[in-house]
Structure 1
Amino acid sequence: MSYNKLMNNIGFDADPFAKTNADDEERLRMYFIEPPFYNAVYGNPDEADSKIVFAPRGSGKTALKKMIENKSQEDNLLCISYNNFDIGKLKLQEIDMDYHLINIIRLIVVALITSIEEKGLSKLSETDRHYLYLFVKNYLSDIEQIELESSIDSVKNFSDKAKEWWNKFLGPIGIVINVLLTRIGIDKVEIEKFDRQGGSLGRPQYQLQILQRLSSKIGHNSIYVLIDRVDEYSFTGNATNSYKFIKDLLTNLNILEIKGIGFKFFLWDLILEDYQIEARPDRIKYYNLSWKKNQLKSMLSERLKAYSDKKIKSLEDICEFEVNNNSGLGIDDIIILLSQGSPRNIIRICKEILDQQSEINYSHNKITKEAFVKGIEVFSKNYTHESIDERVINDLIKVNRLDFTVRYIYNDVFKFTQQAGISKVKIWQDSGIIEKIGTIQDTIGAKPSNLYIIKSLLVGKYIFSNLDIFEFIETKTYKCKQCGEMLFRDWDINNKSICSNCQVDVEKYKSQISFFD
């Protein structure tokens, strides 16, 4: 109740940061900001094509997929979402093309039946109805109730009322197939005829082509298959396994170029390197999802407006303090900077700040500086421990730097051999914790050394827990005057470095600059 009171006092009709999963966000349409290639990924429903989107976790892949689902309701197409992967007792190496196609075909069959219930099957020939009979028999005869409910939920371009029609066939004994066929217009005599004739649907690839033709005949221009959440299962938790799981479908041009079917993939960017070995961008175009700072700022603003009857447009509107720093960053800018391009991180950081304000004083109608500082401190700690192994965290705390060379690691911090230092840094780099940004001359007369930085500013903030967020921004960030890139370095230790974006030499000096220049 105290948290709800805080929301009301501030001016929200509900918590704008309660949910981080786009599939659960009822007001997504009100604050969704289109990435530059949104229309290209959606494509032309009259000429369906396959596209791939790569992005880091939390960067809005599911939100993009969700908006394509919503848009599909306005166009004359069949749209299903393939993101529920039950491998049962199969091993990862046993997941092949047929596994994916059989699951996708079942979803399309459910979508097709849903559409036929609305549109009827008068335009289908006897042969078409025979195929429909075989699809229902093959894919729905032994389907379990939970699996059917999941399949119905995967159909995205029909109203809830249309999908409620399936409730007549849900029950502990599964679907009564003949009753289902009768309800969609295949009478008892025709069912008995098809039953006597038998028949085969052929290979899954051919089945997809048949389904596309049936879908077209009842009035759909194309079929969209949206593939998401590949990396969110225990068997796909790392990039290598995620790629192995989806590889057969992702790289099969014969499937991805079936006329009238558009496969839209929303995948973890860490599998891109493996994919590029076999990629054919001349045939299947792929995109890297990245947000500009202005887009993220607009996204935050629109979310705040959606939950406040458009009265609150920024965090600064509901904070009782102001920020003064040499970087020129405002309150919203700091949140966006810490998120490093992740809409999910923005939501979670803001949620933690409001949680802290609720603990400090829920009767307040503004966010205090204390809550803001504490919220970022708590979230950076939680984020770091979620993302990185405890032993590595302890090592990074001991290093106590945002940027460093291998020489610094083995000579100044751990005081062991050069090879041990090289091995440790390589492990951090392979895990995505640090990245190489160039070279520097760290010893007079020696060869230049590779310079590495901690990739996540949230991890950096946790390492420097002795600094509040404003001190951290002041001493560890600087904007390159050449290209405008925000650089994360130990400027308080060395005011000279290189820009990882434009590779020019940078010397930090005091000046008022704008984050969004």
Structure 2
Amino acid sequence: MELYERLKFNKNPFSTFSAEQERKFLDEVFIYPNNYNSLRSDIIENRSRFIIGARGIGKTALIYKIKREVEDKNVFAVLIDDFEGIPVKNNKKHFLKLMITETIKLYCATVSKNPSLLKKLDKNDKEKLAFIIAEFFKSLSHREYEGYYDKATKLKSKNLIKNIYNKVFNKPINLLLGGGIELVSDFVRKSFGLPDPNATGFYKNYLPELELETIKKSKNPSEFLEDAKALKLIWFDLATLINKSGFVTTTILFDRADEYTSLGQGIDSITTFLKEILTDTTLLLSENYSIVIGLWDATKNYFDELGVRFDKIKPFNINWSQDKIKEILEKRIEHFSDGKVQASNIFSEQTIEELTALSDNSPRYLFRQLSVIYDVQNNLDSTSSFISNKAIEEGQLTYCKDFEFYAVFPSKKGSKEDILVNVNRILKIGNEEIKTKDYIDIAKVSTPTAISYIKIVQNYGLVHYIGETEMCKNLPGTKPCFKIFDKKEIREISK
């Protein structure tokens, strides 16, 4: 019998701690943050929003939940969380292309479920749609198409993918299913009964400054769609077409853009990567669609300096009180035990307080911590019907020692501002209260350098200024004194 069974759970409730792994049971464990209804109505009413919060605070879970609920309100919602191939700088046209290509693929899958959507489009609309499919529908394998089909809305009962292919498309394609042939734009366009797009005419519509003769002579007319202005007009038209076909509106949800691997967690690269799209207010402010962008809170001040209009695009800040974090824990335990177990059956009130404090009120780090404690208990005694105090104490200390500071704090590797360098300096000092002299003694640096080190850890939020001599124990003179604020470091020092 597994430890989780002895604890009266159906499965280990602490084995996952990210929204990507929890999509199947997200609705059962989701706790609504404050002002959620306002956020949802704003998106439906075409008001773009920034969702801002610390790492692990629940931005992705919130975006998943928002997507499901606005789809229930007949909103065409497109989630974009893969940014492979987007350059770090000078990338507005790449973001626009990504929006258009992801949207048109999902829309084609949706139309394959409900072809009547096209009946609401007039001749000019269908010509535009045919042009956009021809230029932006990227070839899809059967498996890729099936993925988009599963994401698509607008069908009450789900049919087998093979039947959808055979019923919707106007030719037998059994060979397509078995032969690994890709689904291409021309095939999709013809299957929907759309006209052959007059590419020359539409390039002229979107790039009126070009001479038609120039376009006709080009061996690769798609090169003219490298212009961000033209791409923006095409995106505006696509959103309008989708709305005209029967949807209340369209929304694009960008998630985890600041976790794109090419950025390396660095603040400078993250702000450079998102600067062009975040500062384009004509793109973000529209009456025909909304754009939702999840942002790491550590980047907000930097985006402020770059001119991102947080005064026009309202931020939605995710913060959890300690009571809310306890509620999140209760909901998780209730779900995995079918309501048979409560948090108080496993942990004392004092332990729950410690768990939430060490998590910094972050759901992800609460469950990361509990995952470590569970594993320690498993190693100590897997036949136990409870989690022991020893497992809790050892698990919390291991969690603190192994904490991934790079995932939470901006990374500036190779510089004096590197987060781990500064954490280790504090641990070497070994006191909860520190002053300039401690840095001088431990790091063997000058007074100005010691002061700069304290400024860095203040900016990280690792220490807080608490006053002069009279507020500091056993510290002579009139030097400033600082207290460690990070609970994980305090736990390591105390042990």
Shift of 1:438: 4.7
Alignment of 1:393-408 (within 5 A): 393-408=423-438
Matched, 1:342 2:362: yes
Matched, 1:224 2:272: no
Residues 425, 443 of structure 2: 8 Å contact kept? no
| Correspondence for 2:352 | 332
Question: Which of the residues 409, 413, 417 maps onto 2:439?
Answer: 409
- Judge which range, 140-149 or 249-258, deviates more: 140-149
Shift of 1:304: 0.3
| Correspondence for 1:307 | 336
Question: Which of the residues 269, 292, 316 maps onto 1:287?
Answer: 316
How far apart are the structure 2 equivalents of 1:153 and 1:37? 30
| Correspondence for 1:210 | 237
Residues 414-455 of structure 1: CA deviation (Å, up to 9, x unaligned): 45421231233234345x262444532357774x62x43444
Question: Which secondary structure does the structure 1 equivalent of 2:402 belong to?
Answer: helix
| Correspondence for 2:80 | 82
| Correspondence for 1:134 | 131
Question: Which secondary structure does the structure 1 equivalent of 2:232 belong to?
Answer: helix
Matched, 1:109 2:104: yes
Matched, 1:272 2:300: yes
Amino acid at match of 1:82: I
Specify whether residues 264 and 403 from structure 1 end up closer, same or farther in structure 2 by C-alpha distance, changes over 3 A only. farther
Amino acid at match of 2:430: N
Larger helix share, 1 or 2? 2
Specify whether residues 18 and 163 from structure 1 end up closer, same or farther in structure 2 by C-alpha distance, changes over 3 A only. farther
Question: Which secondary structure does the structure 2 equivalent of 1:122 belong to?
Answer: helix
How far apart are the structure 1 equivalents of 2:138 and 2:393? 58
| Correspondence for 1:356 | 376
Matched, 1:199 2:202: yes
Shift of 1:73: 2.8
How far apart are the structure 2 equivalents of 1:306 and 1:46? 30
| Correspondence for 1:461 | 491
| Correspondence for 1:60 | 58
Residues 109, 145 of structure 2: 8 Å contact kept? no
Specify whether residues 346 and 154 from structure 1 end up closer, same or farther in structure 2 by C-alpha distance, changes over 3 A only. same
Matched, 1:20 2:43: no
How far apart are the structure 1 equivalents of 2:184 and 2:447? 70
| Correspondence for 1:99 | 94
Specify whether residues 195 and 205 from structure 1 end up closer, same or farther in structure 2 by C-alpha distance, changes over 3 A only. closer
Residues 109, 136 of structure 1: 8 Å contact kept? yes
Shift of 1:207: 1.2
How far apart are the structure 1 equivalents of 2:165 and 2:56? 34
Residues 174-214 of structure 1: CA deviation (Å, up to 9, x unaligned): 3233332233333xxx33xx358753262121112211221
Shift of 1:343: 0.5
Amino acid at match of 1:209: F
Residues 292-335 of structure 1: CA deviation (Å, up to 9, x unaligned): 11111001000000000111121x3025xx5xxxxxx5221211
Matched, 1:245 2:273: yes
Amino acid at match of 1:6: L
Specify whether residues 297 and 216 from structure 1 end up closer, same or farther in structure 2 by C-alpha distance, changes over 3 A only. same
| Correspondence for 2:70 | 72
Amino acid at match of 2:353: D
Amino acid at match of 2:96: L
How far apart are the structure 2 equivalents of 1:298 and 1:87? 40
Query: What's the TM-score, normalizing by structure 2?
Result: 0.81
Identity %: 22
Residues 232-272 of structure 1: CA deviation (Å, up to 9, x unaligned): 12322112211111111112110011222111111101110
Greater relative contact order (Cα < 8 A, sep 6+): 2
Residues 93, 244 of structure 1: 8 Å contact kept? yes
| Correspondence for 1:469 | none
| Correspondence for 1:475 | none
Residues 44-100 of structure 1: CA deviation (Å, up to 9, x unaligned): 465211011211101111111111122123111100111100126x4x223x21111
Specify whether residues 166 and 422 from structure 1 end up closer, same or farther in structure 2 by C-alpha distance, changes over 3 A only. farther
Residues 44, 70 of structure 2: 8 Å contact kept? no
Residues 119, 218 of structure 1: 8 Å contact kept? no
Alignment of 1:175-186 (within 5 A): 175-186=183-194
Residues 51, 264 of structure 1: 8 Å contact kept? yes
Amino acid at match of 1:248: E
Stretches of structure 2 that go unaligned for 5 or more consecutive residues are 167-172, 207-229, 408-417
Residues 381, 462 of structure 1: 8 Å contact kept? yes
Question: Which secondary structure does the structure 2 equivalent of 1:34 belong to?
Answer: coil
Question: Which secondary structure does the structure 2 equivalent of 1:362 belong to?
Answer: coil
- Judge which range, 388-397 or 147-156, deviates more: 147-156
Shift of 1:151: 6.2
Shift of 1:390: 5.3
Specify whether residues 152 and 57 from structure 1 end up closer, same or farther in structure 2 by C-alpha distance, changes over 3 A only. farther
Question: Which of the residues 201, 219, 235 maps onto 2:262?
Answer: 235
How far apart are the structure 1 equivalents of 2:295 and 2:200? 43
| Correspondence for 1:380 | 400
Residues 114, 163 of structure 1: 8 Å contact kept? no
Residues 40, 66 of structure 2: 8 Å contact kept? yes
Matched, 1:317 2:345: yes
| Correspondence for 1:260 | 288
Residues 81, 154 of structure 1: 8 Å contact kept? no
| Correspondence for 1:10 | 7
Question: Which secondary structure does the structure 2 equivalent of 1:27 belong to?
Answer: helix
Question: Which secondary structure does the structure 1 equivalent of 2:258 belong to?
Answer: coil
Query: What's the TM-score, normalizing by structure 1?
Result: 0.78
Question: Which secondary structure does the structure 2 equivalent of 1:373 belong to?
Answer: helix
Question: Which secondary structure does the structure 2 equivalent of 1:424 belong to?
Answer: helix
Residues 356-396 of structure 1: CA deviation (Å, up to 9, x unaligned): 11111111111111111111111111105766765444422
Specify whether residues 260 and 274 from structure 1 end up closer, same or farther in structure 2 by C-alpha distance, changes over 3 A only. same
